[in-house]
Structure 1
Amino acid sequence: MSLKGKTLFITGASRGIGREIALKAAQDGANVVIAAKTAVEHSKLEGTIFSVAKEIEAAGGQALAIQLDVRDEQAVQAAMKQAADQFGGIDILINNAGAIKLSGVETLDPQRFDLMYQVNTRAVLVCSQAALPYLKKSENPHILSLSPPLNLNEKWFASYAPYTISKYGMSMLTIGMSQEFEHYKISVNSLWPKTIIATAAIEFSLGGRELLSRARKPSIMADAAYSILTSEKRKISGRLLIDEEILREVGVTDFEQYREGSSEEDLMIDLFVDA
């Protein structure tokens, strides 16, 4: 299977994992919609929807850059239509946009919780609804959300339950939509990294650049996503997958290639994953 000629709609694709998945698909000759908020270069963060569009085209794909706030359902519907009009349909939706604040109930501003819930959980619902009419017409449709396994160990709730709730909501929608959309032959899955990934979210939200030496490159998530998105109709569906596990299933054995830092550093296991 290949993504050649397929159209991917990726939210939050101006940097990090979303960008990496976009570039991986572009190598096959895919059409990629970069739907993200960043249209102007940020002083601390590299990448905009337009810079990634140029990278996609240089890699062999076709690109459409759309500035989008996934909290706005009307804007999401308009963006899906624009994408489908440009490329003749939509085959794959990747819910990659995210918001994070690792604070407990006592200290978290309720407006910050609203942001996390809307960008994480609610956006999966909104984007999936808007993509559904187009996915129904695809030969091998997929919805993939970047969300974790449902690990109910109390330690994942003790210090930042609001964030945990917003991410687990995404995963529960994956399970539900896989069942609900079965008769449309749409594969619906979630994907999460086993270790932290070298992204801006890690650098600025979880502890600074020193943590990046204990991270893996975003390419491991792109390769894992690719293995899911190129699978046949419903062969993989309703699963909350870990990047390393799905890659092992398809025969990958060398994971040193994905290290960001020195092999002497211990990799840091990501949130919601038991060591």
Structure 2
Amino acid sequence: MQNCGKLAGYTVFITGASRGIGKAVALKVARDGANVVVAAKTSDPHPKLPGTVHTAVEEITQAGGKGLACIVDVRKEEEVQAAIDKTVETFGGIDILINNASAISLTDTKNTTMKTYDLMNQVNARGTYLCSKLCIPHLLKSREAGRNAHILNMSPPLNMSPKWFASHGAYSIAKYGMSMCTLGMAEEFAEEGIAVNSLWPRTTVITAAVEMITGGNKMAAAMSRKPDIMGDASYAILLRDCTKCTGNFFIDDEVLTEEGITDMDQYAVDPTQKLVDIVNPGSLWSAVVGAFNSSKSKL
């Protein structure tokens, strides 16, 4: 998807933007000339995961944006508040919040420790609520200034079918917590004009974190899409009128189809491979979940 420059000068606060989907969104909005806040935990290089807040800011600058590195654990209110304060001091406000930070473990009940359960719920559900709560006063000011204020949560459509809980209940509870923030806040702030939406990928998206947890399964990677698809879909949503586009649970390729993009092969890691569909899951998704449960690289 081509950039149009409409987010030039906007300030976009993105959690978990040092790598993966968060960084893909960061680079996409940076190409418009946006101010991008990389709010993430990784300050020093991780032994297995590439990318830090500092390297992400370097890439944002190279892409045409202005970057700000903030070391943030979204579980800690004081760190989130400090990052928001630094953002406002540096850029003058916040126009867009992307709640991307997430902890994942596709383990079943027997294989999920309470430490893992707590981590996922604290990062995913509580972190999204906390970051939204603290950013909303600034998003309201953005609306007062006539700007297009958005919150975008990287979370799935709310679907209470048992299949989404039987194999990885703890993870689904945590991600649905994010989606319930979308549902509730979209209604709560509709009159004020803050858009609150969710975005979810149709297929597995290959990131360094997922590769590590699945033990570097090459087949799983080949049957996935690249993070760029989420970057492009996010960009398309953020351009939409915040007073009209709210309370939606978007799927990445459906958003891009609406924008007239028909070639989805450009986003595939290997266009010759069948993709792992996680919206209408089948045997391939079951195999991915099985890899998580058998992997030694659990949270």
Do the structures match in fold with TM over 0.5?
Answer: yes
Q: CA deviation at 1:171?
A: 0.5
Select between 198-207 and 4-13 the one with higher mean Cα deviation: 198-207
Q: Kindly indicate whether residue 237 of structure 2 is the aligned counterpart of residue 228 of structure 1.
A: yes
Query: Helix, strand or coil: the match of 2:210?
Result: helix
Q: CA deviation at 1:273?
A: 4.1
Corresponding residue number in structure 2 for 1:44: 48
Corresponding residue number in structure 1 for 2:291: none
Corresponding residue number in structure 2 for 1:79: 83
Q: Kindly indicate whether residue 246 of structure 2 is the aligned counterpart of residue 237 of structure 1.
A: yes
Q: What's the CA shift string for 1:57-79, capped at 9, x where partnerless?
A: 11110010000000001211111
Corresponding residue number in structure 1 for 2:289: none
Query: Whole-Å Cα distance in 2 between the matches of residues 245 and 206 of structure 1?
Result: 27
Select between 70-79 and 48-57 the one with higher mean Cα deviation: 70-79
Q: Aligned residues: percent identity? A: 51
Query: Whole-Å Cα distance in 2 between the matches of residues 258 and 8 of structure 1?
Result: 24
Residue 191 of structure 1 is aligned with which of 199, 203, 207?
A: 199
Corresponding residue number in structure 1 for 2:185: 177
Residue identity opposite 1:266 in structure 2: K
Corresponding residue number in structure 2 for 1:133: 137
Q: CA deviation at 1:11?
A: 0.3
Select between 16-25 and 243-252 the one with higher mean Cα deviation: 243-252
Q: Kindly indicate whether residue 119 of structure 2 is the aligned counterpart of residue 111 of structure 1.
A: no
Q: Kindly indicate whether residue 162 of structure 2 is the aligned counterpart of residue 154 of structure 1.
A: yes
Please say if residues 149 and 273 of structure 1, whose CA atoms lie closer than 8 Å, have aligned partners that are also in contact: no
Q: What's the CA shift string for 1:94-136, capped at 9, x where partnerless?
A: 0000001122223321121111000000011100011011000
Residue identity opposite 2:66 in structure 1: Q
Please say if residues 151 and 273 of structure 1, whose CA atoms lie closer than 8 Å, have aligned partners that are also in contact: no
Q: CA deviation at 1:250?
A: 1.6
Select between 208-217 and 164-173 the one with higher mean Cα deviation: 208-217
Query: Helix, strand or coil: the match of 1:106?
Result: helix
Please say if residues 38 and 53 of structure 2, whose CA atoms lie closer than 8 Å, have aligned partners that are also in contact: yes
Unaligned runs of 5+ in 2: 283-299
Please say if residues 3 and 28 of structure 1, whose CA atoms lie closer than 8 Å, have aligned partners that are also in contact: yes
Residue identity opposite 1:86 in structure 2: T
Query: Whole-Å Cα distance in 1 between the matches of residues 74 and 119 of structure 2?
Result: 11
Query: Whole-Å Cα distance in 1 between the matches of residues 77 and 221 of structure 2?
Result: 35
Name the TM-score, length of structure 2 as normaliser: 0.88
Corresponding residue number in structure 2 for 1:11: 15
Name the TM-score, length of structure 1 as normaliser: 0.96
Query: Whole-Å Cα distance in 2 between the matches of residues 103 and 231 of structure 1?
Result: 36
Please say if residues 48 and 212 of structure 2, whose CA atoms lie closer than 8 Å, have aligned partners that are also in contact: no
Residue identity opposite 2:194 in structure 1: I
Residue 57 of structure 2 is aligned with which of 28, 53, 73?
A: 53
Query: Whole-Å Cα distance in 2 between the matches of residues 207 and 183 of structure 1?
Result: 47
Corresponding residue number in structure 2 for 1:20: 24
Query: Whole-Å Cα distance in 2 between the matches of residues 242 and 22 of structure 1?
Result: 19
Query: Whole-Å Cα distance in 1 between the matches of residues 47 and 128 of structure 2?
Result: 29
Query: Whole-Å Cα distance in 1 between the matches of residues 204 and 110 of structure 2?
Result: 26
Query: Whole-Å Cα distance in 2 between the matches of residues 257 and 101 of structure 1?
Result: 28
Q: Kindly indicate whether residue 68 of structure 2 is the aligned counterpart of residue 64 of structure 1.
A: yes
Q: What's the CA shift string for 1:193-212, capped at 9, x where partnerless?
A: 00111112321234633111
Say how many residue pairs are matched.
Answer: 273
Select between 58-67 and 104-113 the one with higher mean Cα deviation: 104-113
Corresponding residue number in structure 1 for 2:276: 268
Unaligned runs of 5+ in 1: none
